Structures are given as C-alpha cells and as structure tokens.
Amino acid sequence: MSRSQGSVHRRFLRVDLTTGGVSVEEPEPDYMRLHMGGRNVIAHTLLTEVPPGSDAFDPENRLVFALGPITGVSVPGGSRHSVGAKSPLTGLFGESEAGGYWGAELKRAGWDAVIVQGRAAHPVYLWIDDGVVALRDARHLWGETTGPVEAQIRGELGDEHIRVAQIGPAGENLVRFACVVHDLNEVAGRTGLGAVMGSKNLKAIAVRGTQPVTAADPRAIAGVARWVAQETLAPGGAHHRLHTWGTGAMVKSKQLEGHLVANNFRDGQLPGGDQVDALAIEASTDLEMDRCYACSVRCKKRVKIDRPDRKVDPKFGGPEYETMAAIGSNTGVIDVMAVCKGHEMLNALGMDSISCGATIAWAMEMVELGLLDERQLDGETLRFGSADDLLRLIGRIARREGLGDLLAEGSLRAARTLGAEAEARVVHVKGLEVAMHDPRAMPEMRRNYPVTPTGGDHTGAAGKRSGLRNTVGLCHFLQYDEATTLTLLNAATGWEVLPEELHATFERGVTMARLFNLREGMQPEDDRLPDRLHQPLRHGPLRDRRLSRETVSDEVRAYYRDHGWDPATGRPYADTVEYLGLAAVAEAAQATPFVAERREPIPAGRPPYTPQREENGALAE
C-alpha cells in the first residue's frame, strides 16, 4: 500500500453484505478536500446511494463509518469519527459521533471510511487487518452482550490490541435507539444506528492498524498537543474540570437555576436530583479517569462498584452528564449507584442512554395518567423514582420483552399506538428524544434542537463549530478556537484551507443533510420544539417562564436565511446548492425538487449564506 501524504488516505472500504463482496474505492482527489470526512461523507453517501423513501431497515440503507482528516493524528481531540445511516427512529438523516480508539485504529489501517450496504444471510463480523479485509461468521456471537463479544473477537483473532465497534442485543433486536458501541464505552449513541447495523446482520467491525498516521507538519501538531498538556490541565486551566471529573460536575447549578431535567421534562427541580453528579460518583465509587486516543485531557470516567446489588465493571466506563440526567433525574431516580449500573447495562446491551431514559420517563408518565392498560404493562410496575423499575425495564427493552417491546420502538412510535394524549407528552424533535438540556432555560439549545438534522440533539450539530468538529474528526470538548482548528487541519493534511473554505465545508454538510431530510419527507413544520417544552415548568425559579412558539419559529426562519435556504420553506436555494458544488449531487440524489429559486439574486461575489463567526465554543460541562 502506498503511503499517504498527510493524514488522508483517500481510500474507502466498501462492504456489500448481500454478496459478501469487499472493495477499495478511491474517491476523486477533490472529493476529500470538498467533503473532508464525518458528516459530509455520510450525507453525500446517503443522498447519492440510498433510494428515496426506502426503509431504514432496507438492505439498501447505507451504514457509514466516516473518519475526519484529523482522526488518528496524534493530538488531543483527534480521536473522533462519525457513524451515519438513514435513521430508524426519525426516518431522516441519522448520525452520531464517538471517540476512543476505534477511529484512530481504522486510520492506522489505511482507511478514511467504511461503507456497508446489503444484508448478510446470517450474522457476520467484519475484520479489517490493515489492508486485508474479511467477513467472518458471527453466529456464535449473536445474542451476546458487548463485553464477552469484544473478548471473544480479540481471542479468536489472537490480538489484544484489536479495536471493536459492535452492537449489543438491542441492535440485533432492532431497538430503534440501539447504538454502536466502540471499545465498550465509546458509543455512537443517537438516531438508532445500532439497529441499522443489526438489520444488516453485522455484529461487529474489528480493526487492527499498524501504520502510523503521518501529519504533513508534525511540529505544528506537537505544539498544540504540548499546549493542551502543559497549560490547560491545572486548576483554572481550560480543560481542568473535564480532566478531573469529566462532565457533570456542576449539575447542582441546574437544580438551583430551576432547569434540571426531571420527571419527563415537567419539573426543573427534583429533591435530591443533584445528588447524581460527577462529584457524587467521585465520592461514592472507585473512579478513575481514562482517555481517548492521543488525548491528555482524559475526561472519560471509569467507574468501579463492588456492592453486590450494584456491581459495576469499569471496562464499560462511567456515566457522563447526559446519562446521569436521562436515567437519573428525568426518571426521578436519585440513586447514583443505580445510575452507574444503568450506564453499564446500556453499554453492555447497546442502547442510547438519552433516548432510552427519555422513553422510560415518558412511559412512567403514561402509567401515572393511566394511559397504558394492563395488557400493555404486562405486569410491569413503572414509577418515577424507582431505580429497580428503571433497571429492569432497560433490560426488557433490549430484549423486547413485554412492555419493553413497545418502548423499543422509541417514545414517539410507542405514543402513536396510545393516542393523541400520549403523543402530546413525548419530548422529541423529529422523533429523536430531546437531550438533557432544557431549551426553556438555555437559548443555545432552543436555537439548536429544532434545526439539527438529526432531531433533538444537544451537541450543537446545526452550528458551525460542532458541524466542523464532526467533519474534521476533532472532539467538541477541546477548547480550540477556529484558528487552532484550522492549524490542526492544515498541519494534518498539508492542505492550505482558508477560513472561508472551512466555512463552506460546514455549509455543504448541513445543506446535504437538509436535502436528504426534505427528500425523505421532512416538512418545515418539523423544525419545531414539542408541546411539553412550550409549557411552564411545575416548580422552581422558572415556573412562570413560557417559551413562545413565535420565538422558536422566528429563530428557525433566521437559521434558514443564514444558511442560504428559503425562509418560508426551508429549502436550500439553487444558488446555495450551486455555490457549494452540490448541483450534481442534488441531481443524482433526485433532490432537485427540494431546491428553491431565490426571487432576488444575491450580489455577485458574495456567498449565498451568511458568513458566521464561530459560536461560543464551550460545550464542556
């Protein structure tokens, strides 16, 4: 294999599970510069290869593992990759990111992306050993949880350094919020990508790469790495808090301010709700901090508990804030040990903690209201605040047992079987359960949730900063400004990308995702917040605050305008599509009916979107 210049190989691995064929694809040289990686590669693939209107579980859906140019480069934050497919939860653009080591290992094996299509006749796993690729029988692994599967694959391939991306029983059982689990603790959690993997009978992708990733300018990379390690980790430093506790050290602030997500988003305060935080985990468990590839920040928890009824294995990591709130305060559970146990179960079974917790919280409210009948409950008790109910139901959802079978469909689909009263209480955007930051109190979430292409995602993925981090393969938590991001990108690749080009890359990604969503039936009315988030909280300092629908719709229209989309319909303007070099893509994707004509031409020489400054970068608690 020829060595790459810089950190981009220009090599995609194509796997057709129906035929068993694997092939190498070398995108055109300008493809990598145009799309770079991550979201953009996913969106381009879904647009041009997934037949319009096809079901997420159709073999024609694509499951894409896309690295960025910085993935695998030896710099803090350079561990990230994205996984994408048409989502079985939303029926729209599905995408989620993970860190850890798997993405860097794939880069070291000589690949920039893996595109999986078709469906295997029986369970298989993919083994990528540098440039040698094989599909192997996985029937003996089917039904197993993630821990034993990783050990078994490493054992049978004879290499403890193999990195494994896999699904648990939830993905096999097509739980619509099943996730893809990497290294047992790094999950591409959102939008049900594990269920797509399960629908393809693909249990795992095991990777071993032995080629160092070369950066075009290693000294520039080393300079940034040195800054992080030497100047940001001490008390008061930019990464100190993450370095020491991971996320969730300041949960109490939400409780005080009155927007702790509690009891299915009805309450902003919960007695004891702030007892489930990173400080409580530090105080009450055996906690160590772990890291992702090349990262000195070390913000990942590894929790060990030896108590017999809550025994937790540190190999599954530990809960970060979203999980603490999703299966903690939002279900009324204030038992930190139970939350740690729930986190371990979710990673072992392969489910997204946010959607799972939110769906259980919704179901608890349905029980309170008497909207689930005896037959549907199937003997299940389900009470806000009951850790035992929570943990039992997590297992039953993954196995689709009893009530778990209904909840495995996700909260929106489950609610639609119960009627309008039930549906009105689902806290979702586009079918994706809203993450654990309340937009009634947090303007950045209010602006982001309605327009993020995946739905109720909290990572700022509709915005430039997070959109670009995703595309270049860089962690959101690293406090790099835009200039440093650009330095890293150019030092990694040898490209000479200017800020305007980087911005256009971000616009290309959100516009492709938009075209995909419009083609798949999304309407502008879907860019909204759910009813619950327009209702006042029942308790606390914000109980009199009301978020108006006009505020949200005005911000949505402003977002359309800023991105060169028609403010009335949310359809990208033709000049935007043309400017971004996407006209042929739109044509090939049968998406041109969803492109709008601008009435007033824009002045020559100006981009059709509004150049934006990077949003406030702090996504770090």
Partner 1 sequence: MGAMTLPLRVRVRPYADLTRYFPGTGAVREVDVPAGATIQVLLERYGVDAEPRLTLGLNGELAERNARLASGDLVDILVPMTGGA
- Smallest distance, Å, CB 285 to partner 1? 16
- Please say which residue, 32 or 474, places its beta carbon nearer to partner 1: 474
Handedness of CA 395, 316, 620, 613 (dihedral sign): negative
Handedness of CA 353, 359, 361, 363 (dihedral sign): negative
- Please say which residue, 187 or 393, places its beta carbon nearer to partner 1: 187
- Please say which residue, 4 or 454, places its beta carbon nearer to partner 1: 454
User: What is the DSSP pairing of strand 81-86 with strand 93-98?
Assistant: antiparallel
- Please say which residue, 162 or 281, places its beta carbon nearer to partner 1: 281
Task: Locate 114 and state its tokens.
Answer: 């893996």
- Please say which residue, 371 or 442, places its beta carbon nearer to partner 1: 442
CA–CA separation, 236 vs 253, rounded Å? 19
- Please say which residue, 285 or 386, places its beta carbon nearer to partner 1: 285
Q: Backbone phi, then psi, for 276, in 5-degree steps?
A: -100, 90
- Please say which residue, 476 or 508, places its beta carbon nearer to partner 1: 476
User: What is the DSSP pairing of strand 186-188 with strand 113-117?
Assistant: unpaired
- Smallest distance, Å, CB 123 to partner 1? 30
- Smallest distance, Å, CB 96 to partner 1? 11
Contacting residues toward partner 1, per CB under 8 A: 235-236, 240-241, 244-245, 247-254, 256-258, 278-279, 320-322, 435, 437, 442, 444-445, 458-460, 477, 541, 618-621
- Please say which residue, 235 or 605, places its beta carbon nearer to partner 1: 235
- Smallest distance, Å, CB 237 to partner 1? 9
Contacts by 602-610 with C-beta closer than 8 Å and gap 24+? 602/575, 607/500, 607/504, 607/507, 607/564, 607/579, 608/564, 608/573, 608/575, 608/576, 608/579, 609/507, 609/562, 609/563, 609/564, 609/576, 610/561, 610/562, 610/563, 610/564
CA–CA separation, 431 vs 506, rounded Å? 24
Handedness of CA 472, 478, 484, 488 (dihedral sign): negative
- Please say which residue, 129 or 257, places its beta carbon nearer to partner 1: 257
Length of the chain: 621
- Smallest distance, Å, CB 165 to partner 1? 18
State the burial class of residue 75 (Cβ atoms within 10 Å of its Cβ: 0-12, 13-18, 19+): buried
Helical spans, DSSP H, in 331-450? 336-349, 353-369, 374-377, 387-398, 403-407, 411-416, 420-423, 443-448
Dihedral (Cα; 321, 327, 331, 337), 10-degree rounding = -90
Please report where in the chains the tokens 């694959």 appear, as a residue. Answer: 153
- Smallest distance, Å, CB 427 to partner 1? 17
- Please say which residue, 479 or 576, places its beta carbon nearer to partner 1: 479
Alpha-carbon separation of residue 558 from 451, 550, 598 (angstroms)? 11, 12, 16
Q: What is the 3-state secondary structure (H, E, C) of 241-283?
A: HHHHHCCCCCHHHHHHHCCCCECCCCECCCCCHHHCCHHHHHH
- Smallest distance, Å, CB 543 to partner 1? 12
Q: How many helices (H) and strands (E) does the chain have?
A: 25, 16
- Smallest distance, Å, CB 348 to partner 1? 19
Residue 46: CB partners within 8 Å, gap ≥ 6? 62, 64, 84, 85, 86, 93, 516
- Smallest distance, Å, CB 466 to partner 1? 9
- Please say which residue, 171 or 439, places its beta carbon nearer to partner 1: 439
- Smallest distance, Å, CB 444 to partner 1? 7
- Please say which residue, 125 or 245, places its beta carbon nearer to partner 1: 245
Q: Are 198 and 173 in contact (CB under 8 A)?
A: yes
- Smallest distance, Å, CB 415 to partner 1? 26
Q: Backbone phi, then psi, for 161, in 5-degree steps?
A: -95, 0
Dihedral (Cα; 429, 431, 435, 441), 10-degree rounding = 20
- Please say which residue, 10 or 291, places its beta carbon nearer to partner 1: 291
- Smallest distance, Å, CB 244 to partner 1? 7
- Smallest distance, Å, CB 253 to partner 1? 4
- Please say which residue, 80 or 341, places its beta carbon nearer to partner 1: 80
Helix (H, G, I), strand (E, B) or coil at 202: strand
504-521: burial string, b at 16+ Cβ within 10 Å, e else: bbbbbbbbbbbbbbbbbe
- Smallest distance, Å, CB 618 to partner 1? 5
Q: Backbone phi, then psi, for 521, in 5-degree steps?
A: 105, 5
